[in-house]
Amino acid sequence: MTVQGGPARILFVCLGNICRSPLAEGVMRATAIDAAFPVEIDSAGTGDWHIGKKPDPRAIAVAARHGIDISAQRARQIRMSDFGYYDRMVALDASVLRDLRRLAPADGTALLELLLDHVPHRPGDDVADPYFGDDTAFEAALSDIRLGIDGLLRSLAESPDQTKG
């Protein structure tokens, strides 16, 4: 699909890497497999509070209700090398995107973007942090993430030569 023939490398980033970005990773993996779209995916947090932990039980539960198993994921923090390794670092909200732009090394090559920028009528919108919310907040986050992933896959299909291979 590219000059180098490699899969698109995508890193989803939120604050804690226990709620939103693990859901994005899980939805992207399931959707890309269904579409036979070659991607290499991971997720990470800007914060270090939850390193090594499983996703939040409420995130595992909402994913499971939608047929997706994210229970094997473990939280990690972003690394400087991510900015050179990934084709895209996809932030789940605007404050995370600001942090990524601030942290990006001068030679970072990853495209830094916001997930919901891929959704018509939603550019600039956040996937609201469900951490202090209830199950409804987790369902809303998953619903937004699904829309964002569908749009992201459309974008990847339209610009396949952006991968580092």
Q: What angle do CA 13, 19, 23 make, to 5 degrees?
A: 75
Query: Smaller CB distance to ligand 4NP: residue 119 or 127?
Result: 127
Q: Is 129 a catalytic residue?
A: yes
Beta carbons of 118 and 152 less than 8 angstroms apart: yes
Phi, psi of 94 (to 5 degrees): -70, -30
Q: Is the dihedral of CA 82, 146, 94, 130 positive or negative?
A: negative
Residue among 10, 11, 19, 41 that touches ligand 4NP (CB under 6 A): 19
16 binds ligand 4NP (CB under 6 A): yes
Three-class SS state of 29: helix
HSE, CB side, 13 Å, CA atoms: give it for residue 85.
10
Q: By the 8 A CB rule, do 122 and 116 touch? A: yes
Token code pair at residue 139: 């369902």
How many CB atoms are closer than 10 A to CB 63?
24
Q: Which is nearer to ligand 4NP, 45 or 148 (CB)?
A: 45
The CB-nearest residue to ligand 4NP is 16
Task: Give the one residue of 10, 14, 39, 142 binding ligand 4NP; rule: CB under 6 A.
Answer: 14
161 is catalytic: no
Q: Which of residues 96-155 bind ligand 4NP (CB under 6 A)?
A: 129, 131
Stretch that binds ligand 4NP, among 10-18, 34-42, 77-85, 115-123 (CB under 6 A): 10-18
Q: Out of 82, 129, 144, 146, pick the active-site residue.
A: 129
40: tokens are 């290499």
Which C-beta is closer to ligand 4NP: that of 117 or that of 129?
Answer: 129
Of 16 and 26, nearer to ligand 4NP (C-beta) is 16
- What residue ranges bind ligand 4NP (CB under 6 A)? 14-20, 45, 49, 129, 131
